[in-house]
Amino acid sequence: MAARDGLHIYDVTNPAEPTHLALYSQTWCNDVFVAVGLAYTATEHGLEIVDVTSPTAPTMYGYHFGVQANGLFLSDGLVFLAEQGIPPTYRNGLAIVDASNPSSPTLIGSHLTPGWAWGVIVSSGTAYLADWMGGLSIIDVTIASSPTLCATYDTLSDATRIRVADGVAYVANGVRGLKTIDVSNPRSPTVLGSLTDVGAHGGLFVSGNRAYACDNSGRTPAEWRSFLHIVDITTPSSPSLLGSYTAPEAWGVAVSGDLAYVTHNYGFHIVDVSDPTSPTLRGSFDTPGGPAGIVVSGDLAYVADYTSLQIVDVSNPTSPVLRSSFPGFRITLVHVSDGVAYITGTWSGADFECVDVSDPDNPTILGKYDVPDDWGVAGGLAVSNGLAYFLLDDLRVLDVSDPTKPTLCGFYPAGRSSFASDLFASGNLVYLVDTLGLRIFEYTGGDTAAPRWQRYR
């Protein structure tokens, strides 16, 4: 059995009472394949071949160390490794190792992919590679020394942000860019189009016929770039890039009128997007924490600044001024509606709070939902029809019709196993994105049990 601390060997002669025979110590044994007394293991350091002819005393037989191997497949003396690049190589994809002499395996071929490869199977000269953010890669390996890409399939994995407008969901899909999905029938969502020549890793905002996507991309530190991309979505099936603004570590974005407010590690930039082909900096504001979420309402910007909620007067975009600060803990998410700011965070111990911001110079606490310290918000906050939806390793809903008494009224176990990262709510529908892609839920109300949710996809 592959485990974090290495390869475990069990006697399963009596399947009702398996007996532990030995542990062969390794660092992150991620996968194992056994043939003819040898165990081929995918580990943090690459391929390790272990002699298990004596199951109580396994020994090293051969190895090919490279980058982290997450999965493997053995076929005709060849080991196919699903690799995840780590510094300094940053190599991701498929590696093919000749193990016909298992004491001295040798790399003979490889194919780079845009994602992080997690698993691989091979059939009739074709390798099928689960490439996480890269989707499914289908690779011709009939010539092992020269594998070639046959096709890719977009699984919508590595979805990080979502916004919905007029029956269309806009999904930030990592290295595969921006996806548009028809959700007018939530029981049967269909992909409309994509913009793949830009990345979309961070904040996402939709306004009118434009989408604004933050992109922190690059395969190595030397290539790292950060942008705000402005996308024409007049025709959702054919989104097109209008222009980009080079931003320092762009994480979140909000748009009001012709101005985009882009958060970075030390505050936010105010960018004039009246000419989307040539966005220009109008002003900036430094905050004491590390801002991520931002909402703009009228002349005020509400910034989730980790250690506080910052309320900033942006009536003069060239010279924004702090109005007030409301102390908090690990605040990264904010939603403002009808004079109330709803705030929470993305780490364990960050509570959900309702803050009265009707007087921006004197924000005061209205009510609080205590989050247990052993839970962490995965990301995503939305308020609709008196209900607040947020991710707390599961998808939760609070009744905030009385913001002085936010009360848990429903949950769905949606986030813990699939790394949910964002959500959007409209009416009673909740659109959630995670490493599995897009899922749509309807909260039917009145019960905290999971069956009270209807999952559409």
Instruction: Pick 287 or 443 by higher pLDDT.
Output: 287
SS3 call for 47: strand
454 confidence band (pLDDT: 50, 70, 90): low
pLDDT in the model for residue 219? 46
pTM attached to this predicted model: 0.73
> Torsion over CA of 326, 328, 334 and 337, rounded to 10 degrees?
-50
Of residues 412, 365, 407, 367, the one with CA closest to residue 392: 412
Amino acid at 323: R
Of residues 371, 365, 368, the one with CA closest to residue 347: 371
Report the residue count for the chain: 457
CB count within 10 Å of CB 278 equals 13
Ordered by where they begin, the domains of the chain are 2-153 (2.130.10.10), 161-455 (2.130.10.10)
Q: For residues 260-281, give the mean pLDDT.
A: 95
pLDDT in the model for residue 131? 80
Which of 32-41, 78-87, 231-240 is least confident?
A: 78-87
CB count within 10 Å of CB 257 equals 11
Q: For residues 318-324, give the mean pLDDT.
A: 97
In angstroms, the CA 125 to CA 369 distance is: 55
pLDDT per residue as tens digits for the range 367-415: 999 876 555 555 789 999 999 998 876 788 899 999 999 998 888 876 5
Q: For residues 100-106, give the mean pLDDT.
A: 95
Of residues 174, 222, 221, 165, the one with CA closest to residue 194: 174
In angstroms, the CA 423 to CA 450 distance is: 18
pLDDT beyond 50 at 220: no
Instruction: Pick 431 or 329 by higher pLDDT.
Output: 431
DSSP codes joined into one string, 268-324: EEEEE-SSTTS-EEEEEEE-SS----EEEETTEEEEE-EEEEEEEE-SSTTS-EEEE
pLDDT beyond 60 at 319: yes
pLDDT per residue as tens digits for the range 18-47: 899 999 999 889 999 999 899 999 998 899
Query: Is there a contact between 229 and 213 (Cβ–Cβ < 8 Å)?
Result: yes
In angstroms, the CA 165 to CA 208 distance is: 9
pLDDT in the model for residue 59? 95
